[in-house]
Copies of this chain bind each other. A is one copy, B any other.
Amino acid sequence: MKIKIICLGKSKQKFIEDGIKEYQKRISKYAKIELNILPDIALTKTNTIEIVKNKEAEILEKHLIKDDFIIVLDEKGKQFTSLEFSKYISKINKNIIFMVGGVYGISEKILKKTNLILSFSNFTFTHQMIRLILMEQLYRAFSISEGKKYHY
Contact = CB atoms under 8 A, between A and B. Distances in A.
B152 A81 contact: no
Contacts of A123: 79-82, 85, 120-121, 137, 140
Interface stretch (A11-19, A27-35, A92-100): A11-19
Interface stretch (A60-68, A109-117, A124-132): A124-132
Contacts of A81: 122-124
Contacts of A129: 133, 136
Given A124-B81, A133-B133, A22 B12 contact: no
Number of copies of this protein chain within its complex: 2
A85 to B, nearest CB: 7
Interface residues of A, number: 32
Contact of A19 (B19, B85, B120, B136): B19
Contacts of A120: 121, 123
Interface in A60-108: 79-82, 85, 103-104
B140 A80 contact: no
Given A13-B19, A15-B16, A123-B137, 15 more contacts: A15-B19, A16-B19, A18-B18, A19-B19, A79-B121, A79-B123, A81-B122, A81-B123, A81-B124, A82-B124, A121-B123, A125-B136, A126-B150, A129-B133, A132-B132
Interface of A: 12-16, 18-19, 22, 79-82, 85, 103-104, 120-126, 128-129, 132-133, 136-137, 140, 150-152
